[in-house]
Amino acid sequence: MAAKIAKKFDAAASDAAAEATRWLAHLGAERRMSPKTVEAYERDLRQFLCFLTEHLGGAPGLKELARLTPADVRAFMAARRAVGASSRSLMRSLAGLRSFGRFLERGGKGKVGALTAVRAPKVPKTLPKPLAVSAARRIADTDLRAGEEREPWILARDAAVLALLYGSGLRISEALGLKRGDVPEPGHGDAVTVTGKGNKQRMVPLLPQVTQAIADYVVQCPFDLPAEGALFLGAKGGPLSPRIVQLAMERLRGALGLPDSATPHALRHSFATHLLARGGDLRAIQELLGHASLSTTQIYTAVDTDRLLDVYKSAHPRA
């Protein structure tokens, strides 16, 4: 496996390639980053090393990395921008390269100071777009899709997944990662433990309506659902794809007259925004969402402020 990864860094000298391989293993095993994040960081570093090979006139080693200047890093970012990389992609790329630089420094392999001397590109902040409470409540209503030529158990399955996303604030990956034995029967529990980013586990509440929606799906599902098997299955009995959930939400958008911003992830935004509007504590919402930093959760305060201003403007006599 190590040899396979090292081939991806054949644009670097052997010492740099070896450290890159060790860094990726560190991200996955010790930092517990998701495979997709590790893959993205690997791709960013590979692009950087390939650029440096051409930019410097030879495969860079640890000594060459330590001698880099901010101008070299800016040249790399300009080259990525020229092929269409967005500010968000460049920001992630720089974050990954800095992580590699810190790994080298901690291991006594040199310091790549140029990476920290360059500012990350500014990314415009976009506020989450939650659904209205009335629309969010109807998302799990199977009658909305009664006219579709789909088996009742599939409609019940989609309703159960969407109810989980809104009722418990889950990411799609977290909902689809649940095992049958993770979810209690109606009346026998009001919480479930989910595995989020970085394999971190947290406990989230299960509303009675959500537990019942899951139970309705389980009763109708034509496939065996062993305790250690996936809870949500596709039409052929395999694990349910996130794309199927997205398509179900697209159909509901038409039925409810919702905008394109009403995605499955918008249900998670709606969960947080509606809790905050009802007086929910920001720290508690942070824990429920599984955010590592409170600053990530604080974006919902801006959403709620916007909502309050809209109410003020529409209701105040002098507005």
- Tens-digit pLDDT profile for residues 66-84: 999 999 999 999 999 999 9
Low-confidence winner among 36-50, 61-75, 111-125, 153-167 (lowest mean pLDDT): 111-125
Query: Do 223 and 306 lie in a common domain?
Result: yes
Query: Do 164 and 310 lie in a common domain?
Result: yes
By annotation, the residues acting in catalysis are 171, 197, 265, 268, 291, 300
Query: Do 102 and 159 lie in a common domain?
Result: no
pLDDT of residue 220: 96
Q: Specify the 3-state DSSP secondary structure of 179.
A: strand
CA-based nearest residue to 162, from 181, 188, 149, 144: 144
Query: Do 112 and 142 lie in a common domain?
Result: no
Question: What is the number of domains present in the chain?
Answer: 2
What span, in angstroms and rounded, lies between the C-alpha atoms of 98 and 118? Answer: 10
Query: Do 157 and 93 lie in a common domain?
Result: no
Q: How confident is the model at residue 315 (pLDDT cuts 50, 70, 90)?
A: low
Q: How confident is the model at residue 104 (pLDDT cuts 50, 70, 90)?
A: very high
Query: Do 64 and 195 lie in a common domain?
Result: no
CATH number for the domain spanning 204: value is 1.10.443.10
C-beta separation of 178 from 157 below 8 A: no
Bigger pLDDT: 182 vs 255: 182
Residue 128 lies in a domain: no
Amino acid at 35: P
What span, in angstroms and rounded, lies between the C-alpha atoms of 246 and 239? Answer: 15
Q: How confident is the model at residue 6 (pLDDT cuts 50, 70, 90)?
A: very low
Amino acid at 250: E
Which residues constitute the domain of residue 57? 2-117
Query: Do 154 and 93 lie in a common domain?
Result: no
Bigger pLDDT: 37 vs 173: 173
Residue 24 lies in a domain: yes
Residue 127 lies in a domain: no
Residue 268 lies in a domain: yes
Residue 124 lies in a domain: no
What span, in angstroms and rounded, lies between the C-alpha atoms of 298 and 172? Answer: 21
Q: H/E element holding 202?
A: strand 201-205
Query: Do 242 and 274 lie in a common domain?
Result: yes
What count of other Cβ atoms lies within 10 Å of the Cβ of residue 231? 26
Question: What is the rounded average pLDDT of the residues 5-34?
Answer: 78
pLDDT of residue 279: 82
Last residue of a domain, one of 56, 87, 117: 117
Question: What is the rounded average pLDDT of the residues 281-302?
Answer: 82
Query: Do 154 and 262 lie in a common domain?
Result: yes
Residue 75 lies in a domain: yes
pLDDT of residue 214: 95
Residue 30 confidence (pLDDT) above 90: no
Q: How confident is the model at residue 153 (pLDDT cuts 50, 70, 90)?
A: very high
Low-confidence winner among 45-54, 68-77, 142-151, 164-173 (lowest mean pLDDT): 142-151
Query: Do 274 and 147 lie in a common domain?
Result: yes
Query: Do 37 and 156 lie in a common domain?
Result: no
pLDDT of residue 43: 92
203 contacts: CB under 8 Å, gap ≥ 6: 191, 192, 193, 194
Last residue of a domain, one of 88, 117, 146: 117
158 contacts: CB under 8 Å, gap ≥ 6: 145, 244, 245, 248
Q: Give me the torsion for CA of 261, 262, 268, 272, rounded to 10°.
A: 80
What span, in angstroms and rounded, lies between the C-alpha atoms of 69 and 67? Answer: 7
Residue 209 lies in a domain: yes
286 contacts: CB under 8 Å, gap ≥ 6: 294, 296, 297
Residue 274 lies in a domain: yes
Q: Within its chain, how far is the Cα of 48 from the centroid?
A: 24
Query: Do 105 and 138 lie in a common domain?
Result: no
Question: What is the rounded average pLDDT of the residues 89-112?
Answer: 91
Q: pLDDT of 33-44, one tens digit each? A: 778 888 889 999
C-beta separation of 177 from 13 below 8 A: no
Bigger pLDDT: 260 vs 127: 260
Low-confidence winner among 73-77, 150-154, 235-239, 315-319 (lowest mean pLDDT): 315-319
Last residue of a domain, one of 64, 90, 117: 117
Q: pLDDT of 180-224, one tens digit each? A: 999 988 888 889 999 888 778 899 999 999 999 999 999 999 999
Share of the chain above pLDDT 70, in %: 91
- Identify the residue whose tokens are 């971190």: 200
C-beta separation of 269 from 129 below 8 A: yes
Q: How confident is the model at residue 1 (pLDDT cuts 50, 70, 90)?
A: very low
Question: What is the rounded average pLDDT of the residues 111-132?
Answer: 83
